Amino acid sequence: MTILTRTNAYGQRAWRKARLTHLAHSPQCTDCGAPATEVDHDPPHDGTRATFWNTDTWFSRCKSCHSKQTTTRDGFGFRRGNKAQTRVAVVRVASTRVGAW
Ligand SMILES: [Zn+2]
Protein backbone atom coordinates (compact mmCIF):
# COMPACT_ATOMS: atom_id res chain seq x y z
CA MET A 1 0.00 0.00 0.00
CA THR A 2 1.37 3.35 -0.96
CA ILE A 3 0.39 6.42 0.98
CA LEU A 4 1.13 9.56 -0.93
CA THR A 5 2.02 12.44 1.31
CA ARG A 6 2.15 16.17 0.96
CA THR A 7 5.87 15.79 0.27
CA ASN A 8 5.14 13.63 -2.79
CA ALA A 9 2.69 16.20 -4.10
CA TYR A 10 5.11 19.11 -3.79
CA GLY A 11 7.89 17.02 -5.29
CA GLN A 12 5.93 16.38 -8.49
CA ARG A 13 7.43 17.80 -11.63
CA ALA A 14 3.97 19.16 -12.56
CA TRP A 15 3.80 21.18 -9.32
CA ARG A 16 7.32 22.56 -9.73
CA LYS A 17 6.41 23.73 -13.22
CA ALA A 18 3.01 25.16 -12.23
CA ARG A 19 4.61 26.96 -9.30
CA LEU A 20 7.18 28.66 -11.54
CA THR A 21 4.46 29.67 -14.00
CA HIS A 22 2.37 31.14 -11.18
CA LEU A 23 5.36 33.10 -9.86
CA ALA A 24 6.11 34.41 -13.35
CA HIS A 25 2.56 35.77 -13.64
CA SER A 26 2.36 37.01 -10.08
CA PRO A 27 5.93 37.85 -9.04
CA GLN A 28 5.19 39.91 -5.93
CA CYS A 29 4.37 38.75 -2.41
CA THR A 30 0.61 39.12 -1.78
CA ASP A 31 1.30 40.33 1.76
CA CYS A 32 4.31 42.66 1.59
CA GLY A 33 5.04 43.26 -2.09
CA ALA A 34 8.57 41.81 -1.91
CA PRO A 35 9.70 39.49 -4.72
CA ALA A 36 7.77 36.24 -4.21
CA THR A 37 9.63 32.95 -4.16
CA GLU A 38 6.89 30.58 -3.01
CA VAL A 39 3.31 29.67 -3.84
CA ASP A 40 1.04 29.32 -0.84
CA HIS A 41 -2.29 27.46 -0.72
CA ASP A 42 -4.73 29.79 1.05
CA PRO A 43 -6.91 28.36 2.47
CA PRO A 44 -4.67 25.30 2.87
CA HIS A 45 -5.46 22.37 0.60
CA ASP A 46 -6.94 19.32 2.32
CA GLY A 47 -4.65 16.74 0.76
CA THR A 48 -6.84 15.99 -2.24
CA ARG A 49 -5.79 16.58 -5.80
CA ALA A 50 -8.79 18.84 -6.45
CA THR A 51 -7.97 21.37 -3.74
CA PHE A 52 -4.22 21.14 -4.32
CA TRP A 53 -4.63 22.12 -7.97
CA ASN A 54 -7.31 24.78 -7.42
CA THR A 55 -5.40 27.83 -8.65
CA ASP A 56 -7.93 30.15 -6.99
CA THR A 57 -6.24 29.25 -3.71
CA TRP A 58 -2.69 29.94 -4.92
CA PHE A 59 -0.98 33.07 -3.66
CA SER A 60 2.55 34.23 -4.33
CA ARG A 61 4.43 34.96 -1.14
CA CYS A 62 7.99 35.68 -0.07
CA LYS A 63 9.62 33.08 2.17
CA SER A 64 9.15 35.19 5.28
CA CYS A 65 5.39 35.79 4.80
CA HIS A 66 4.82 32.19 3.71
CA SER A 67 6.39 30.72 6.83
CA LYS A 68 4.50 33.23 8.98
CA GLN A 69 1.24 32.14 7.33
CA THR A 70 2.05 28.46 7.59
CA THR A 71 3.00 28.67 11.25
CA THR A 72 0.01 30.71 12.38
CA ARG A 73 -2.58 29.23 10.06
CA ASP A 74 -1.73 25.63 9.23
CA GLY A 75 0.51 24.27 11.93
CA PHE A 76 2.27 22.09 9.34
CA GLY A 77 -0.92 21.48 7.43
CA PHE A 78 -3.17 20.70 10.37
CA ARG A 79 -4.91 22.99 12.79
CA ARG A 80 -2.86 23.23 15.93
CA GLY A 81 -4.27 21.07 18.68
CA ASN A 82 -3.18 18.52 21.18
CA LYS A 83 -1.13 15.54 20.04
CA ALA A 84 -4.03 13.07 20.10
CA GLN A 85 -6.13 15.24 17.81
CA THR A 86 -3.22 15.67 15.43
CA ARG A 87 -2.63 11.91 15.30
CA VAL A 88 -6.30 11.26 14.48
CA ALA A 89 -6.14 13.88 11.74
CA VAL A 90 -3.02 12.30 10.24
CA VAL A 91 -4.58 8.83 10.18
CA ARG A 92 -7.82 10.16 8.69
CA VAL A 93 -6.08 12.14 5.96
CA ALA A 94 -3.62 9.35 5.20
CA SER A 95 -6.43 6.86 4.63
CA THR A 96 -8.38 9.25 2.39
CA ARG A 97 -5.22 9.93 0.43
CA VAL A 98 -4.73 6.39 -0.74
CA GLY A 99 -5.29 6.49 -4.45
CA ALA A 100 -6.29 10.14 -4.32
CA TRP A 101 -3.32 11.30 -6.36
ZN1 LIG B 1 6.08 38.93 1.95
How close is the Cα of 77 to the center of ligand 1, in Å?
A: 20
Distance 35 CA to ligand 1 centre (A): 8
Alpha carbons 4 and 2: distance in angstroms, whole number: 6
Which sequence spans correspond to the domains of the chain? 6-97
Q: How far is the CA of 100 from the centre of ligand 1 (A)?
A: 32
Give me ligand 1 centre to Cα 27, in Å.
11
Write the pLDDT tens digit of every residue in 52-90: 999 999 999 999 999 998 787 766 544 444 444 444 444
What global pTM score does this model have?
A: 0.65
CA distances to 1, 2, 47, 53 from 44, rounded to whole Å, are 26, 23, 9, 11
Contact at 8 Å (CB) between 57 and 50? no
pLDDT score of 7: 59
